[in-house]
Structure 1
């Protein structure tokens, strides 16, 4: 019990919360960026634009089948060779957006495909252009179908930020490692606190998604 009390001292907890703040910031930026880019890529794949859609599909398939850790390494160690030197935070955000955008693109494409084709035909028959039908008829219905998969992907994104510890991102996982690295008896208390903090953040996101689903329904 004394190990837990000492491990959860104010200094250690403040350090953990600082790491949690970085995790949340990186996650929010990555979620926002990957959602916008992924939605655009998913729509491009769905509408099947000549030449463009096949190229986009090829890029998506390539990136989806690469390890996220490899992309993180490339953004942090590879981009400097191209003249761009991102910090560990920006390297993580860029890597997350690149990787997660491809996952979200497939979710968006599948969500749109799940909408009854008759909806588009009916919208066009009523005088709407293809773009208007997509915006006002198809995408709102597809969004309802996409929410569970999107939330699951975003929760995975939050947990995957811990991989950036390898490039010394000062996130929650990194700071916990620093704490128990100073005293091996803190390992179990730190792992327990990590589990609690990650659970709270991910569960909060799932609650937001449930609220959004109820509103859309």
Structure 2
């Protein structure tokens, strides 16, 4: 118990909160960008544009079958070899956006496909163009169906930020490692407190998902 009391000093808690802020910051940017990327790629896969849809589908299949850690390594160590200079934060965001964007693209594609084809036919019969029907009729209904899967993927993204500790991203887990490396008796207290912090963030996202699902049901 004494180890817990000393481990949770204000200095250590403040240091962990700084890491938590980096985790949230990287997660929020990655969520927004990966959602946009997923929407675009998912739509392209659904509408089956000649050649383009096949190429996008091929790329998505490759990314979805690669370990996220490998993509993180590539963005941090590989991109500089191509003349693209990154830092741990930028490399982590790029890797998460690429990986999660590919995952979200499949969710978007399947969500659009789950909408009754009669919705598109009804919108077109009322004088809407294909894109108008997609934007005003099909996509809103698809998003409603996608909410649980999207939020689940966003929760996974938050947890996946911990993998970026391998490239020294100063996120929550990395800060915890610094603390218990200075005093190994703090190992368990640190894992307990970061587990609580991850739980609070992910549980909050889950509550938002439940609220949105009920609101738009």
**TM band (smaller chain):** over 0.9
**Secondary structure in 2 aligned to 1:69?**
helix
Which residue in 1 is equivalent to 2:209? 209
The within-5 A match list for 1:79-94 is: 79-94=79-94
Between the aligned partners of 1:135 and 1:11, the Cα distance in structure 2 is: 50
Which residue in 2 is equivalent to 1:112? 112
Cα RMSD of the aligned pairs, angstroms, is 0.8
Aligned length: 217
Gaps of 5+ in 2: none
Between the aligned partners of 1:15 and 1:133, the Cα distance in structure 2 is: 50
Between the aligned partners of 1:186 and 1:166, the Cα distance in structure 2 is: 21
The within-5 A match list for 1:168-207 is: 168-207=168-207
Mean Cα deviation higher: 106-115 or 119-128:
119-128
Which residue in 2 is equivalent to 1:97? 97
**Secondary structure in 2 aligned to 1:127?**
coil
Between the aligned partners of 1:2 and 1:112, the Cα distance in structure 2 is: 55
Structure 1 residue 212: Cα displacement: 2.0
Structure 1 residue 210: Cα displacement: 2.1
Between the aligned partners of 2:194 and 2:99, the Cα distance in structure 1 is: 24
Structure 1 residue 58: Cα displacement: 0.3
1:65-84 superposed Cα distances (whole Å, 9 cap, x missing partner): 01100000000001111111
TM-score calculated relative to the size of structure 1 = 0.98
Which residue in 1 is equivalent to 2:144? 144
Between the aligned partners of 2:9 and 2:213, the Cα distance in structure 1 is: 40
Which residue in 2 is equivalent to 1:54? 54
1:27-55 superposed Cα distances (whole Å, 9 cap, x missing partner): 00100000001100000000000111000
1:101-136 superposed Cα distances (whole Å, 9 cap, x missing partner): 000000000000111111111111111110011011
Mean Cα deviation higher: 22-31 or 80-89:
80-89
Which residue in 1 is equivalent to 2:133? 133
Alignment of 1:73 with 2:91, yes or no, is no
Between the aligned partners of 1:84 and 1:18, the Cα distance in structure 2 is: 28
